Amino acid sequence: MVAIPRPLATSRFARARWLVLAPHADDETLGVGALVAQAAAAQRLAGVVYLTDGAGSHDAGGAWLARVRRREAALALRRLAGCDAPPPLFLDWPDAHPHQADSAAWHATMRRLAALIRARRVDAIAVTGADEPHCDHTACRTIAIAAIRAARRSVTLFDYRVWTDPAVPPARTMFRTQPMPVGQRRHALMAHRSQTGGAYGPGFRLARDAWRMPGDDILHLTGIADAR
């Protein structure tokens, strides 16, 4: 039997303080744009954190492209969450080269996230799922789990899906956000000009099929990490 998503708005998580972790700038819009918008409207958005710097998405990338990706992410977030939302946080990992779990850089990031979880009183985290095919997406989830444990705070972890094979079964418990206003998610995605057009030369370009996004998000409940 296929599980039916429950309405997030009538669940106990409707009043949670949400932190969104995105592997790349644009994943926040593709995966959880509705969640970001609705949590911000309810003043329950603790923040959006980007794992990678985006500098490797194009052949001629580098520090200049990382700056472009930051500006694009900030604009997309304003279009989703408004000007009063917390500014995005960038962790600046290199694209497609996640730090190893035994490295100093990995542990420094984990401690930084744990401190953020405590400081902003995060109750729920949305992060890319374990079955995502990109190494940055799975690394984002791994470090989120470690940060929750280090934060010593009860936090509910939800997966969202960007590139997961549709054949992968859903979680036993899922929640559905309310739909976004027509066009709002597309407007946010268009802020990521480097990912949707050819202005920056050869490199990654989001397929036009991916521009057709649903109005709502599905969140897959994975569990509650409680280290208190």
User: Tens of pLDDT along 163-183?
Assistant: 999 999 999 999 999 999 889
- What's the domain count of the chain? 1
Domain membership of residue 1 (yes or no) is: no
- Counting residues of the chain whose pLDDT is more than 70, the rounded percentage is 97
Domain membership of residue 98 (yes or no) is: yes
pTM (two decimals) = 0.97
**Mean of the per-residue pLDDT values for the chain?**
95
- Please check the confidence at residue 228 and state whether its pLDDT lies above 70: no
Which structural domain range is residue 51 located in? 18-138+149-226
Domain membership of residue 8 (yes or no) is: no
User: Tens of pLDDT along 179-196?
Assistant: 998 899 999 999 999 999
Domain membership of residue 22 (yes or no) is: yes
- Read off the pLDDT of each residue in 32-44 and give the average, rounded to a whole number: 98
User: Tens of pLDDT along 122-147?
Assistant: 999 999 999 999 999 999 999 999 99
Domain membership of residue 101 (yes or no) is: yes
Domain membership of residue 143 (yes or no) is: no
CATH number of the structural domain spanning residue 218: 3.40.50.10320
Nearest Cα to Cα of residue 203 among 22, 24, 73: 24
Alpha carbon distance 156, 153 (integer Å): 10
Q: Where are the alpha helices (DSSP H) in the chain?
A: 27-41, 63-81, 104-119, 135-151, 184-189, 193-196
Model pLDDT, residue 156: 97
DSSP for residue 94: P
Domain membership of residue 80 (yes or no) is: yes
- Read off the pLDDT of each residue in 190-212 and give the average, rounded to a whole number: 95
Domain membership of residue 59 (yes or no) is: yes
- Please check the confidence at residue 227 and state whether its pLDDT lies above 60: no
What are the strands of the beta sheet with 6-7, ordered from one edge? 6-7, 174-176, 218-225, 155-160, 124-128, 18-22, 45-52, 89-93
